[in-house]
């Protein structure tokens, strides 16, 4: 396994990912850095489209990229935005993150540069999950 990455390093990688955002409509850039259990880090940025429904968020870009490259277990994700303050995931991203990293941790940076950390259960309590489909 690779060297353990610090929360500050993961935030820095999310900032790097944010520079790749394609946001000609909102000019609101988001970057995400997803840490897999095997030590790999997957970057994601938001990618807008003139057909707004085709837009993809940074968090889902990172998750989909990781899964498409064979990663399955995720430890944490760092999320930053051009607002330069804590920016929480949208509802769709919360649902995707809850399915793929239910025990994961989410890292954000506030306006003062402090790292804010939450568990997935805090971000999306009462989640709809695979268990609900088995009822």
The answer to whether residue 134 is catalytic is no
CA distance 85 to 48: 21
Catalytic residue among 2, 9, 59, 99: 59
> Judging by beta carbons within 10 Å of its beta carbon (0-12, 13-18, 19+), is residue 54 exposed, middle or buried?
exposed
CA distance 34 to 128: 22
CA distance 72 to 24: 32
The residues carrying an active-site annotation are 59
């Amino acid at each position: 396994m690779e060297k353990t990455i610090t929360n500050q390093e993961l935030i820095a990688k999310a900032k790097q990912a944010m520079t790749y955002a394609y946001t000609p409509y909102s000019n609101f850039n988001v970057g995400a850095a997803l840490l897999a259990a095997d030590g790999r880090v997957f970057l994601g940025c938001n990618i807008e489209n003139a057909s707004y429904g085709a837009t993809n968020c940074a968090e889902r870009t990172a998750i989909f990229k990781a899964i498409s490259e064979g990663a399955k277990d995720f430890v944490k994700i760092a999320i930053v935005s051009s607002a330069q303050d804590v920016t929480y995931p949208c509802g769709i991203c919360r649902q995707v993150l809850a399915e793929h990293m239910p025990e994961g941790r989410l890292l954000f940076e506030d306006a003062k540069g402090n790292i804010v950390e939450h568990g997935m259960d805090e971000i999306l309590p009462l989640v709809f999950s695979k268990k609900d489909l088995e009822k």
